[in-house]
A and B are shown apart, each in its own frame.
Chain A
């Protein structure tokens, strides 16, 4: 169920402001790709264009193509709602629905797409998704308690369980660990390593060690100055980016000279 992503000459605008310019990138199926770069370089904005979540932000629009196994996300007749059920997303801060129990949180997306579920099917989905998110053992006794009662790391894994319950092709993660403590971060990173066996994972991170630990390939984004658009500077195997990058800017960034 994993698909590749090919982006061709993508520009992202906020109103008239060009936020991200000319990104072309090919992301392989069953891999973890990390986006790194200084704040404001457009990596999160770009990530959102991969499942059309940028359309939620007022005035945001794109030019160019994003192909999911060859199907253009921005082609005519494409339904953004359908796109999002194929490309799941995990956000910076864990956001389980506070009014739903843990079980209902996991089933939230499934119920939208599948309509009615038998009780045993639902239980199976809940169990497999929570196991897939390494959360089953911690919550199996309190599935009917509200999801907001969990710790931050558990909440974030609950959100991942919720995303994989829909059986997406791709999972996008927007700085998924930035609101978590080190132990929870480790748990989520372990999970990312397992997820890549079944999904294409794209992760935005501020933490270069994290990018080095979890990703197969790394893309470095940079911005020439305030008011200028963000650009993709370099995209290569993670080891190449961190050990002998081609670009000067990349080297400066990964060696901690700025950003």
Chain B
């Protein structure tokens, strides 16, 4: 479809050019009539192609949903004794969903305040020249593939965190999430969450920085002219203006953290759901799929696809929630 458009464009190129020039030496009337007929056809083809491309997107998304549902159905409909070693689908997926949400939540708990701080540093604290360079660097870091963060997590971060975990479990071991004995390899859910946090920090920072820089100078000056310190100016002018943007940046980060596969698959030494973040155990949906997919076939494959469907629904729900939150803040947003 698209190729025909380009060909038509190339074919009509010469003729149409002469049509726009009024002084054509040879039989202008015939040529112009021809080209305008071709032009009219071109209009139809082109708008048709654009429409078709738009429709393809709808089709693809529907296809994603349909194929996932169709391929997931056998796992949901089959006798539950045959699913996941006789566990049944829902008992199988529940700990994975919990693990996914916990990992993403911890990651965001770490990443959000730090990202906002870094974005503020770049937009309002650092000298101008430095802040431009830092902006570039953050954008580059946001582009580093996740598998590299995963490799770093397993080879550097996990061993480096072991002493910290030992200390945490001895000092705060009475809190269930820090219960010992800590993993000797450091390949725990907390490590995975920290890797996720390091991954999403550049993403959230990059969006926040952009929004902080868009704060109207007028509002910043209004605050300063009232005798506000820099921090008070940020609280009065910058943060309220940027709030919807911060929320959507965080949701973007949450989406990434929920769906992230590689960092968790590489870093986490998985197992059943446990409360302690310092022991190996727990698992996320995405990592579970990646680890088991190569050997899966038949019903176990359907089970993994059903797990993927659940992940899709969870991320979709997060997205819709974000939209709802942002639309609720409209009245007092900087937009009007």
Contact = CB atoms under 8 A, between A and B. Distances in A.
B27 interface: no
B63 interface: no
A108 B226 CA distance: 8
A159 B333 contact: no
Contacts of A96: 222
Nearest to A87: B225
B305 interface: no
Contact of B227 (A56, A91, A95, A109): A109
Interface in A44-93: 51, 53, 56, 58, 81-86, 88-89, 91, 93
A81 B332 contact: no
Chief secondary structure at chain A's binding surface: helix
Interface residues of A, number: 31
B128 interface: yes
B243 interface: yes
A85 B224 contact: no
A112 B219 contact: no
A98 B224 contact: no
Interface stretch (B44-52, B144-152, B204-212, B233-241): B233-241
A95 B221 contact: yes
B229 interface: yes
A86 B241 CA distance: 27
Contacts of A82: 227
B235 to A, nearest CB: 10
Contact of B220 (A51, A56, A113): A56
A103 interface: no
A163 B227 contact: no
A73 B226 CA distance: 16
B216 interface: yes
A112 B232 contact: yes
A112 to B, nearest CB: 6
Given A84-B227, A100-B240, A91 B221 contact: yes
A166 interface: yes
27 contacts: A53-B224, A53-B225, A81-B227, A81-B229, A84-B224, A84-B227, A85-B226, A88-B225, A93-B218, A96-B222, A97-B222, A97-B223, A98-B219, A98-B241, A98-B333, A99-B334, A100-B240, A100-B332, A108-B236, A112-B227, A112-B228, A112-B232, A146-B332, A146-B336, A148-B336, A163-B226, A166-B226
Interface of A: 51, 53, 56, 58, 81-86, 88-89, 91, 93, 95-100, 108-109, 112-113, 146, 148-149, 159, 162-163, 166
